[in-house]
Amino acid sequence: MKFLEARQLTKRFGGLTAVDNVDFDVDKGEILGLIGPNGSGKSTTMSLIMGLHKPDAGSIHLNGVDIAGWTPNRIAGMGVSMVFQHSRPLQQQTVLQNVLLACLPNKVTHLRVSDAQREKAIESLRLVGLNGVHDKAPSELPFAGLRRLEVAKALARDPDLLLLDEPFAGLSAGEVREFSDLIRHLKGSGRALILVDHNVKSVAALVDRAVAMSSGQRIAEGSPRDVLANADVRRVYLGSQSDTVAPEVRRDDSDAPPVLRVKNLNVFYGKAQALSNVSIDVVDKGVTAVVGLNGAGKTSLFNAIAGLLPSRGEISVRDRSIAGMPAYEIARSGIVLCPESRELFGDMSVLENLKLGGMHLSAADLRERLEFVEQIFPRLAERRRQYARTLSGGEQQQLAIGRALMMKPKLLLIDEPTLGLAPIVMDIISESIEALRKSGELSLLLAEQNMVFASRHADSVYLVEHGSIEWSGPAHQFVEQAGSKIL
């Protein structure tokens, strides 16, 4: 019997099955990696183990006890800790005080920290490399330091099972190596670890076994080498040559001037560098894709182009520099961003949201533009009077793109158009992108984790890792030439 055994684990959210009859196990002194593209069910699986969601079916046996459906505090009491993807320390407390809070007993009548618990907290900080910062505020730590603080908080309870959700997100290549060494040390202490991360290569180099997931289902399990070589896993991450658009719609614009040129772009968040000397050219009247895993720097690139982030480097549209221009001027010049978070007005109707995008148009142009958008997205015409917050995720994505199109962009930047969408909805977005391509009225720049989707539509592809361009070229060469850089 393994220390943790999950059998036929299932979780549904309405009509979406996020985790579908999944089996896996992990023993003490072992690291299990859960890999898969965005929306595959990895983080939901971790939440089921920690009790943040209750499974609709299946069992989770921890040391022989079925904990499925237990509350998080009961599961924590069984020796399970979780390091979440986003660092949210209490900023009014010191680094040490944040860890001490994790040491408090599960009783409202007992809020005093013992000397032994204080020593445990200090030891946890030492283990993660945060000596000498006990009295600092979390805001004084670099980004990697905040990730270490989250690990220290989890270790303070001395867990037998440690769940790590996206520990490498936002880290530089050097920081990933340091974090990997820390995780190996934790394994050596006899704990069981389950690791989820989009950084497939770093996960594969670290774990003992891997489970690959797609659309909530387990599609492969075994050694990291065997799982990454699995044909289904490679197809889920990279697609295949048959996934691309028919060759006749591909463009050969190698000699044509780009509509947008970005050269040696650098972006910083405080001390952390998000983009390092990034250069891209965007195909005129075609589709260019920037692909990469979560935290690679795609959104930072798009926000910098749109003027939402300060940056260093060159950004020009048809040889006219827009670097340093206010965001509203960039948008008015025809460079329009459809953000990953959609940013819809939930208590306004579909029509009202669309009209906001076209508020600069004359009455006649507004009617014409509404007809164009509703032709691309017929569902929006059916939902004209419906509040945006009541739409499905797929309908909200259509509305977000539609509102951006109301501005009559010359270049439309769409950040993660397939994020969290079911396959049938992805097909709708796919059809809309091809309709926009055929309209010939604008250029498209896509940021996508879903590399299969991106390579299906793009004329050219840029692969970004840790804030740098690692590969660029025609979309039809992406799988053959760039696949080894990802898997």
3-state per-residue secondary structure call for the chain: CCCEEEEEEEEEECCEEEEEEEEEEECCCCEEEEECCCCCCHHHHHHHHHCCCCCCEEEEEECCEECCCCCHHHHHHCCEEEECCCCCCCCCCCHHHHHHHHHCCCCCCCCCCCHHHHHHHHHHHHHCCCCCCCCCCHHHCCHHHHHHHHHHHHHCCCCCEEEEECCCCCCCHHHHHHHHHHHHHHHHCCCEEEEECCCHHHHHHHCCEEEEEECCEEEEEECHHHHHHCHHHHHHHHCCHHHCCCHHHCCCCCCCCCCEEEEEEEEEECCEEEEEEEEEEECCCCEEEEECCCCCCHHHHHHHHCCCCCCEEEEEECCEECCCCCHHHHHHCCEEEECCCCCCCCCCEHHHHHHHHCCCCCHHHHHHHHHHHHHHCHHHHHCCCCEHHHCCHHHHHHHHHHHHHCCCCCEEEEECCCCCCCHHHHHHHHHHHHHHHHHCCCEEEEEECCHHHHHHHCCEEEEEECCEEEEEEEHHHHHHHHHHHHC
Above 90 in pLDDT, residue 20?
yes
Whole-angstrom distance, CA of residue 320 vs CA of residue 302: 18
Looking at residue 485, its pLDDT comes to 67
Looking at residue 235, its pLDDT comes to 79
Whole-angstrom distance, CA of residue 48 vs CA of residue 54: 6
Instruction: Identify the band that residue 487 occupies on the pLDDT scale cut at 50, 70 and 90.
Output: low
Least confident of 110-114, 237-241, 337-341: 237-241
Whole-angstrom distance, CA of residue 354 vs CA of residue 388: 10
Whole-angstrom distance, CA of residue 180 vs CA of residue 190: 16
Whole-angstrom distance, CA of residue 479 vs CA of residue 239: 7
Instruction: Identify the band that residue 202 occupies on the pLDDT scale cut at 50, 70 and 90.
Output: confident
Above 80 in pLDDT, residue 381?
yes
pLDDT in tens, 280-309: 999 899 999 999 877 788 999 999 999 999
Looking at residue 241, its pLDDT comes to 45
The mean predicted confidence, pLDDT, of the chain is 88
pLDDT in tens, 31-45: 999 998 777 889 899
Average pLDDT over residues 358-380: 92
Q: What is the CA radius of gyration of the chain?
A: 24
Above 50 in pLDDT, residue 247?
no
Above 60 in pLDDT, residue 403?
yes
User: Which sign, positive or negative, has the C-alpha torsion 374, 380, 383, 384?
Assistant: negative
Whole-angstrom distance, CA of residue 124 vs CA of residue 156: 6
> Could you state, in order of their start, the residue ranges of all structural domains in the chain?
4-238, 242-486
Q: Report the DSSP beta bridge partners of residue 31.
A: 193
Task: Give CATH for domain 242-486.
Answer: 3.40.50.300
Average pLDDT over residues 233-244: 64
Whole-angstrom distance, CA of residue 346 vs CA of residue 352: 10
Residue 447: HSE in the Cβ half-sphere, 13 Å Cα cutoff: 25
pLDDT in tens, 55-86: 999 999 999 999 999 999 999 999 999 998 88
Percent of the chain with pLDDT over 90: 55
Looking at residue 407, its pLDDT comes to 92
Looking at residue 36, its pLDDT comes to 86
Percent of the chain with pLDDT over 70: 93
* Of 282, 286, 290, nearest in space to 318 by CA: 282
Above 70 in pLDDT, residue 88?
yes
372 touches 448 (CB < 8 A): no
Above 90 in pLDDT, residue 482?
no
Whole-angstrom distance, CA of residue 117 vs CA of residue 137: 20
Whole-angstrom distance, CA of residue 3 vs CA of residue 62: 6
**Domain 4-238: which CATH class?**
alpha beta
Indicate the residue type of 66: D
More confident residue, 63 or 243: 63
More confident residue, 67 or 147: 67
Indicate the residue type of 273: Q
Looking at residue 49, its pLDDT comes to 97
466 touches 172 (CB < 8 A): yes
Average pLDDT over residues 317-334: 91
Token pair listed for 380: 């929006």
Average pLDDT over residues 176-197: 89
Least confident of 104-113, 126-135, 246-255, 314-323: 246-255
Above 50 in pLDDT, residue 242?
no
Count of other CB atoms within 10 angstroms of residue 170 = 23
